[in-house]
């Protein structure tokens, strides 16, 4: 069900730009949206409150053994929407909201936060992520409609080391 919602959100996001406010033009041959936006100092994450659920990935979408925690989000927040139109870079900061923010981690060290967001003032729906690509603890990379499995190399290495230390499955 959650994967279905992700796919629906992705499809809606890809189809909706033509319906968005005039500030966000429809996609055409003169418009190119940035999917990944890097901010070297890291992006500010939305304020979140109580944890609503947690678990460990079974390997369906992201590698097995990755932990996730879902948090409720208290208020609307701003997200970047950058695009090029007629050789001009347009930088927008639009208000969005979400019900939940998911934190992804390996051994308690977060590598990404994800959410399905809805525009508060514009007709945009989409999946987003903030990723710590280099393991610095700063989430420098923001993505619209990220790949399903978006685990940075350092987190995969940490997961492999953890699995090797645990030894092979089976009776001890």
What is the residue-averaged pLDDT of the chain?
80
H or E segment at 50? strand 48-56
Structure tokens at 49: 């409150």
Task: With cut-offs at 50, 70 and 90, classify the pLDDT of residue 167.
Answer: low
At residue 25, the pLDDT reads 44
Q: Give Dmax (Cα) for the chain.
A: 65
All structural domains of the chain with their residue ranges? 2-165
pTM for the predicted model, two decimal places: 0.76
Query: What is the rounded average pLDDT of the residues 90-112?
Result: 94
Structure tokens at 161: 């080391």
Paired sense of beta strands 67-73 and 100-106, if any: antiparallel
Read off φ and ψ for residue 93, nearest 5 degrees: -125, 110
Query: What is the rounded average pLDDT of the residues 76-83?
Result: 91
């Amino acid at each position: 069900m959650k994967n279905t919602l992700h796919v629906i959100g992705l499809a809606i996001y890809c189809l909706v730009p033509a319906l968005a406010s005039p500030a966000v033009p429809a996609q055409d041959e003169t418009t190119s949206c940035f999917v990944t936006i890097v901010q070297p100092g890291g992006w500010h994450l939305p304020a979140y409150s109580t944890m609503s659920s947690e678990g460990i990935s079974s390997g369906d979408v992201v590698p097995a053994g990755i932990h996730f925690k879902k948090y409720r989000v208290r208020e609307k927040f701003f997200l970047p929407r950058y695009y090029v139109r007629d050789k001009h870079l347009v930088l927008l900061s639009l208000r969005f909201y979400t019900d939940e923010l998911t934190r992804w981690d390996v051994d308690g060290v977060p590598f990404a936060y994800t959410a399905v967001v809805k525009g508060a003032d514009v007709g945009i729906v989409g999946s987003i992520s903030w990723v710590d690509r280099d393991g610095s603890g700063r989430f420098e990379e923001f993505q619209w409609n990220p790949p399903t499995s978006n685990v940075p190399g350092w987190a995969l290495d940490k997961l492999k080391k953890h699995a090797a230390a645990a030894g092979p499955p089976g009776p001890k």
